[in-house]
Amino acid sequence: MFKLIYKDLYQLRKSFLLYCGVLLGLSLLADSFANGAFGALFIVVAVYGLTLRSAYYEDKDNALTFLRTLPIQAKTIVIAKYVTVALLLSLVGLFALAVAAVFHLMGTPLEADLLSLYLWATAGIMVLVSVFLAVFFRWGYNRAVNTIRLLFLSLFFIPIIISRFSQDLWPQNSNLVETLGRVITQPLFPYLMASLVLGIYLISMLFSIRGFKVG
């Protein structure tokens, strides 16, 4: 498994440096990028981009078939990919935090509640890559990319459509919004969210192990 993780990280080394370079460059250019808030977007974009890149390498050269010719169990290949993505997420998150910390020490004020912002970004991207990897291992790269596109479109357009056509219902829904707001501010909420996201990630991994197809 470690050899597979090493292989993934080795393949992604240039892309990783590129993403980190972009964050560093933008932070040097403007304070609005250096206050740490941009790091949350960076986490989402970089982790998704690196996951996509890693899957692309496997797809382009049909390398999953190659891996299956080696003495490696199918589930090891799947688990290794999930561990790699989790590792990338940690590295990218730590880098974003480190950049924010350095610029803070240099005098740039930090965005209020920065850690919470990063946690939301981490949760969001983990759900996104869970969906991506589950589709990738079962149906291949192209379908995985298209699924994420559809998901993005849904996330953007469904709320707009709902709000456009149900304006009359909106006041009745405000109770729901208030309730959600109360839940989110509960002290246990971050733990609940972390458990939920980890659960989704694990379910996605189990689904991928069951559905992994090559050849």
Partner 1 sequence: MNRPILKLDKVSKTYPDFALREVSFALPAGYIMGLIGPNGAGKSTTIKLIMNFFPLESGKIEVFGLDHCEEEIKIKQQVGYVGEFQQFYGEMTVGWLIRFVSGFYPNWDQQYCQELVNRFGLGLNKTVNQLSKGMRVKLALTLALAHRPRLLLLDEPTSGLDPVVRKEFLQELLEVVQDEERSILISSHITDDLEKIADYITLINQGSIALCQPKDLLLDSWKKVVIKDRQLIERLNPWLVYREPGSNDRVGYTDNFPDLQRSFALQLAEGQIVAEPIDLADIMSAIAKREGK
| Region near partner 1 per CB under 8 A, out of 2-10, 28-36, 47-55, 92-100 | 2-10
Q: For residues 94 and 99, what is the distance between their CA atoms, to the nearest angstrom?
A: 9
All residues at 6 or more sequence positions from 76 whose CB lies less than 8 Å from its CB, including other chains: 1, 4
Cα 58 to the center of its chain, rounded Å:
19
- Tell me, what amino acid is at 98? A
Which of 1, 5, 7, 139 touches partner 1 by CB under 8 A?
7
- Examine residue 198 and tell whether it contacts partner 1 (CB under 8 A): no
Among 32, 65, 154, 174, binds partner 1 (CB under 8 A): 65
Binding segment for partner 1 among 25-33, 69-77, 153-161, 170-178 (CB under 8 A)? Answer: 69-77
Q: Is residue 13 within the footprint of partner 1 (CB under 8 A)?
A: no
154-191 as b/e: b if 16+ CB within 10 A: eeeeeeeeeeeeeeeeeeeeeeeeeeeeeeeeeeeeee
Which listed residue (11, 54, 108, 122) binds partner 1 by CB under 8 A?
Answer: 11
| Options 22, 44, 72, 151; binder of partner 1; rule CB under 8 A | 72
Query: Least distance from C-beta 61 to partner 1, angstroms?
Result: 5
- Give the Cα separation of 37 and 178 in Å (integer): 25
Number of chain positions touching partner 1 (CB under 8 A): 20
Smallest gap, in angstroms, from Cβ of residue 19 to partner 1? 18
- For partner 1, the closer of residues 67 and 127 by Cβ is 67
Per CB under 8 A, does 68 bind partner 1?
yes
* C-alpha–C-alpha distance, residues 39 and 76, integer Å: 32
Measuring CA to CA, how many Å separate 12 from each of 45, 55, 114, 147, 175? 15, 11, 27, 23, 46
Which residues would be at the binding site for partner 1 (CB under 8 A)? 3, 7, 10-11, 57, 60-63, 65-66, 68-73, 213-215
